[in-house]
Amino acid sequence: MLILRYSARELLRHPARSLLAILGVAVACAMLLDMLMLGGGLNSSFRKLLTTAGYEVRVSPAGTLPFDTGATIPQVGRLRRTLEQVAGVDGVAPVLGANLLLEGTDDTRVFVLGVDPAEQGIYRLESGSHPDSQRPGDAGVVIGRELAQSGLAIGDTVTLRAPGSFGQAAGSATRFPVVGVADFLYASAGERSAALTLGSLYEITGQSDEASLLMVRVAQGADPEAVAATLREALPGLEIASVGQLVARAAQRLSYFRQLAAILGTVSLIVTTLLIGTIMAISISDRYGTIAALRAIGISRRSLVAAFAVESLLLCVAAAVIGLLLGLLVAHQLERILSGFPGLPTAIRFFVLEPDRVLLAAAGVLAAGVLAALVPATRAMNAPIAATLHREEP
C-alpha cells in the first residue's frame, strides 16, 4: 500500500506529463485492440454466417461461386434424393437465384431466391408466413427488409417478371401476394431480396429442375468434414465444401488483413514501450538524489524497482481504460464504412468484439508498460549512492 501511494503521488506531481503519457498510450492501446478485433473478426463472423441456418455443407457448380454466374446444377430433384440417402445427411435445401424486375417501381431489379419453404437456410422469417408450395398459382412471396422499407407490406401484391436479354423481350409478368417479411442472411447492403417457391421461380424464368446451390444439413453427431468427403467421392463433377473448408479458403484469401493487423498491433506495442520507457526515464532521472537517499537509509533495491513498476502500471491502467473505449468507438466508425462494401453480406463484420481480445489488448499494454519501466529503474538502482546523494529532487 505504501508503494502504491508513493507511485500515485509521483504521478500527480507532474499532471501534464502524466496526462500526455496516458493519452499517448491510450491511442496505442486503441490501435492494438482494433487490430486484434480485425485480425479474427472476419473469420469468426464468416463462420457464424455460414452456420446460422444449420447447414454445414455446400454443393455448387464446379469452378464458380454460387450466384456469381448463371451456372446451375441440373436434375436437382434426383440429386436431392441421392444426397438425402447418404449416411450423415439430415436434410437438403435447394436454392435457385435469379434477377427479376419488380413492376410499378421503375422496374426495380430484385434478387429473387427460389427455395423449398420446408427446407431452406437463406432467410430468417421476421413476420408473416413462408410461401405455400402447395398453392402453385398463389404461393406468395417473402420480401426482404429493403423492399419492406420501400413501402411494401404483408397483404400487398407485387408483380415480378424476368428481364429480357440479347434483344429479347422481357418475360411475362406474374403477380404474387406478399405473405412475409424476412431477414435475408446473405444479402449485401442495399440489396433488394425476395423469396419464392422453386416452382414459382421456374414458371417466371422458364427454368426447370435446376438449382444454383444445395445446402446440406448434417445429422447430429456426424462429422461435416467426413460427410463432405463422401459427397465429393460420389459427385466428382460438383464443388462440395464444408463450412470449415469455406472458412479456411476465405481466411487464406483475406490473409492480408491478418498481416496488416499483426504489423500495426506490433507497432502499437513498440510505441507503448518507447513512450512509457521515455516518460519513466525522465521521471527517474529527476529523482536520482531521492533514490540514493532512500537506498542510503536502507530501502531495498527491489522495493524501489517495484515502486517504479507500479508507477508505470498505474499509467498504463488509466491509458488502457481510455484506449479500450477509444478503440471501440473507432472500430464502430470503421465498421460503418466497411460494411457498405459492394457485394459484401451485411452480416459480415470486420471488427468483432470478443472478451479474450479485449483482455489480450489490455494485458499487452500493461506488460509493455511495466517492462519499459524496468530498464531505467534498474539503471538507477546500479548508480553509486555516494556519487548521487548530492542530487536534489526538483
Domain ranges of the chain: 2-49+253-388, 63-236
Output the pTM of the full model: 0.69
Q: What is the pLDDT of residue 180?
A: 92
Pick the residue with more confidence: 389 or 43? 43
> To the nearest whole percent, how much of the chain has pLDDT over 90?
7
Q: What's the chain's average pLDDT?
A: 80
Reference 374, options 319, 301, 290, 286; nearest CA is 301
User: Which residues, in sequence order, are bridge partners of residue 116?
Assistant: 119
Confidence at 336, pLDDT banded by 50, 70, 90:
confident
Q: pLDDT digits over 252-290, tens only?
A: 766 777 787 788 888 888 888 888 888 877 777 766 666
Residue 217 has phi, psi (to 5 degrees) of -95, 130
Q: What is the DSSP secondary structure assignment for residue 223, as one 8-state letter?
A: -
Q: pLDDT digits over 295-310, tens only?
A: 666 666 677 777 777 7
